[in-house]
Amino acid sequence: MLTKYGLDNIIILLFISVALIASSVFISKTWISSIFVGLGILLLVFTLWFFRDPERNIPEEALIDESLVLAPADGKIVQIKQVNEDIFLKQNAVQISIFLSPLDVHVNRVPISGVVKYFKYNPGNYLIATHPKSSELNEQTHIGMENSIGKIFFKQIVGIVARRLVWDINVGDTLKAGQRFGMMKFGSRMDIIIPETSEIYLKEGQRVVAGETIVAKIHNSQFTIHN
């Protein structure tokens, strides 16, 4: 299945792919014609791969237990650190950063069940997504959610290649954990920021799957990282 969030890009890229392949028929030189066909096929494969939107098995416990935090994006955890979050949580917190390569699924999913209490789009720079300052300086969206357990803050962040963020949520929306809410194009980063009392189940270097991997549990106890 292809994502609805990339429909405009998909139409344009498929048109270019077909045009390249079709134009090869009118080129007399075989080697040039082969190049056009090859480029068209490569672009077609890239389009179908990048904009794929596979179904995910949302953990039943995450739908029942509002304290469980799911990964909002596919990718690799590149950083877990303590921060002072003064936008939405307004307290000391833990930031978990996920880096998405161009080969990862780029459709984003809601990390917890709850209500959207805060949303803001912030224009910015295009540093490489693994850069520590990209979380602060790059173009991004800020999303704050709250449920019966507590609050969580997360960010869609563009990278040096990704230049567009897509979302379809608004303040006041009630969302379920694992629900699709947007996309980042074409390689990017997602930050999850949770209270410092949260329990972290993963460590830096591990890969996560959006809507399936449980990354943390929010509760009123000492902040710990399970290795």
- Give the active site residues: 188
How many DSSP H helices and E strands does the chain contain? 4, 15
Q: Which token pair is 213?
A: 């991997």
Phi, psi (rounded to 5 degrees) for 176: -105, 145
Three-state DSSP class for residue 31? helix
The number of beta carbons lying within 10 Å of the beta carbon of residue 43 is: 18
- Return the SS3 of 197: coil
What's 175's DSSP letter?
A: E
Contact 3/182 with Cβ under 8 angstroms? no
Taking Cα atoms as reference points, which of 227, 215, 217 lies closest to residue 74? 215
